[in-house]
Structure 1
Amino acid sequence: ASAFYPAALGQTTLEQWHDLFASNAQAPFFLSQHLAPLLKANQGCIINIIDALAEQANPDFIPYSMAKTALRTLTTALAKALAPEVRVNGISPGAMLWPDGEHQLTEQQKQKILQQIPLQRVGTEWDIARTLYFLVEEAPYITGQDIAVDGGRSLNSVQLHAP
């Protein structure tokens, strides 16, 4: 599990900073380091859950985005460090389920998000589970990759230039 909550510039406490980095970057690093011998001996694999926010500069989630960017870097570095015995990949979920409680979205906010997603829906836990299964069981020649599971939303940030 990882921590996820807004922490904007000028409002982030040291405790929030440590919490966000501890669960999103520090824990995956030390777990990987500790388990590396076992994973190597068993041709294992590591799948890190990154986040589409790692690609976006969201001013409300600065430490979270930074920690997930660190996790993306860890994913590629571990893929190199643990090869050829261990494959390391990441999954970057986009909008998944609608939040409850105090962070609940209005219908207008939901529609704004859906307009940015070519598949016109938010993801589910099954979208992540299927991708996880694929990377673990069906993709023995894939390592060091971060798979966006975001309904195509990340396509909106891709800039194509004519030659």
Structure 2
Amino acid sequence: MDLKGTVAVITGGGTGIGAAVAERLARKGAAAVVVGYSRSAGEAQETVARLESLGCKAEALAADVSDDAAVRRMAERVRAAHGRVDVLVCNAGMTRWVPFPDLEGLTDDVWRQIMGVNLMGAFYCARAFAPDLRAARGAIVNVASVAGLHPTGSSIAYGVSKAALLQLTRDLAAALAPEVRVNAVAPGMVATRWHIDRVGEQVFAEMATKEELKAPLRRTARPEHVAQLVTALLESDMVTGETLVGDGGRHLTY
């Protein structure tokens, strides 16, 4: 896929990985990028301003991806404004930090929230935008995690949601073929506000150093690295149903 002139929708696009993907698409010549967000309104508007400074038409739209009706409304608005959708990046995600041994901490509410955003949100978006993506012979990239491949991450529920997202990726690749390609990226630790704000800069730096010593490439990913993976999959016309791991090779040492 030539990304020049495309229309892209990025959920969770206001901050971190989503914002980096949006900027990379703009730099590659996307005609329009829709920045989806649920809570980060200010950051989403800042992302829109950066995209517009790069010559890309941009818009921030609020939508709770765990709400099917809200997703369908977003799709209708994008369709009316732009007439087409070539790219869908399902990046919206959430977690609750529950130590693995604390099984009682995985309440029904925790499961519903995490699965609702991380899994059902991606499905709702794919379903709502499927007609547009089929018409454009477009592509979807789901942002998963190495927690969906190994017993690691913020909680069991988070890892299960990302493992399910990887299976959804394969299933959608089969369901939407031949018109639409569907792939996923699985980053490891990424230096984003999502991680840093929870533990603080010093603790995060210590955690990152420990992980770097276990990773062959000896580095911690930044949002820009994940954006590279996303656009690589979007541009790879013969790839569908695949997961691209981006953790500096850390998965080789588990």
Counterpart of 2:161? 67
Distance 1:78 1:119, change over 3 A: same
Counterpart of 1:97? 191
Are the aligned partners of 1:3 and 1:24 in contact in 2 as well (CA < 8 Å)? Answer: yes
Are the aligned partners of 2:144 and 2:162 in contact in 1 as well (CA < 8 Å)? Answer: yes
Is it true that 1:119 corresponds to 2:224 in the alignment?
A: no
> What's the CA shift for 1:81?
0.7
Counterpart of 2:208? 110
Are the aligned partners of 1:7 and 1:16 in contact in 2 as well (CA < 8 Å)? Answer: no
Which of residues 238, 242, 246 in structure 2 aligns to 1:141?
238
> What's the CA shift for 1:120?
0.8
Please report the TM-score for the alignment, with normalisation by the length of structure 1.
0.88
Deviations 1:60-93 (A, max 9, x none): 5100001101100000000011111000000001
| Structure 1 gap segments, 5+ residues each | 158-163
| Structure 2 gap segments, 5+ residues each | 1-91
Are the aligned partners of 2:221 and 2:247 in contact in 1 as well (CA < 8 Å)? Answer: yes
Counterpart of 1:161? none
Q: Runs of 4 or more off by more than 6 Å in structure 1? A: none
Which of residues 80, 86, 98 in structure 1 aligns to 2:180?
86
Please report the TM-score for the alignment, with normalisation by the length of structure 2.
0.58
Counterpart of 1:153? 250
* Separation of aligned partners in 2, 1:145 and 1:124: 22
> What's the CA shift for 1:22?
0.7
> What's the CA shift for 1:21?
0.3
Distance 1:107 1:45, change over 3 A: closer
Are the aligned partners of 2:196 and 2:204 in contact in 1 as well (CA < 8 Å)? Answer: no
SS in 1 for 2:105: coil
| Equivalent residue runs for 1:9-48 within 5 Å | 9-48=103-142
SS in 2 for 1:37: helix
> What's the CA shift for 1:107?
5.3
> What's the CA shift for 1:108?
4.5
**Overall identity of the aligned pairs, in %:** 30
- Residue type of the alignment partner of 2:137: Q
Deviates more, 1:66-75 or 1:13-22: 13-22
Deviations 1:21-61 (A, max 9, x none): 01100111111112111111110100000101111123851
- Residue type of the alignment partner of 2:197: G
SS in 2 for 1:154: helix
- Size of the aligned set, in residue pairs, is 156
> What's the CA shift for 1:113?
1.2
SS in 2 for 1:142: coil
* Separation of aligned partners in 2, 1:59 and 1:37: 34
More strand by share: 2
Are the aligned partners of 1:92 and 1:148 in contact in 2 as well (CA < 8 Å)? Answer: yes
Are the aligned partners of 1:117 and 1:152 in contact in 2 as well (CA < 8 Å)? Answer: yes
